[in-house]
Amino acid sequence: EQRAEVAKQKGLVRGVEVTGTVDRIERYGVFIRFEDGQSGLLPAAESKVPRGGEVRKYYTLGDTVTALIIEVVDRGRIRLSE
């Protein structure tokens, strides 16, 4: 709950467009780190990766990505969509 409140205070709420860099790449998506140090998950299903495609073929560490916050869940976890 506290992390969710911090995200809200920083303006990281549903519907806000954010820009950050790819910080970590997983099979299921990429983690984007924002300027303020917060990060969010861009799931493969919400990204430019076609269904069944390999995430690593479309993103590399350090890439700049602009995405939309679609959800801030408990504990302040942020889900993104491209």
Task: Give the three-state DSSP class for 70.
Answer: strand
Q: What is the pTM of this model?
A: 0.86
Cβ pair 12, 34 in contact under 8 A: yes
pLDDT in tens, the chain (82 residues): 566 666 666 677 889 999 999 999 999 999 999 988 889 999 999 999 998 899 999 999 999 999 999 998 877 789 999 9
Tell me which long-range contacts 49-55 makes (C-beta under 8 A, separation of at least 24). 55/25, 55/26, 55/27, 55/28, 55/29, 55/30
Copy the structure tokens of residue 55. Answer: 């995430």
Cα(21)–Cα(33) distance, integer angstroms = 5
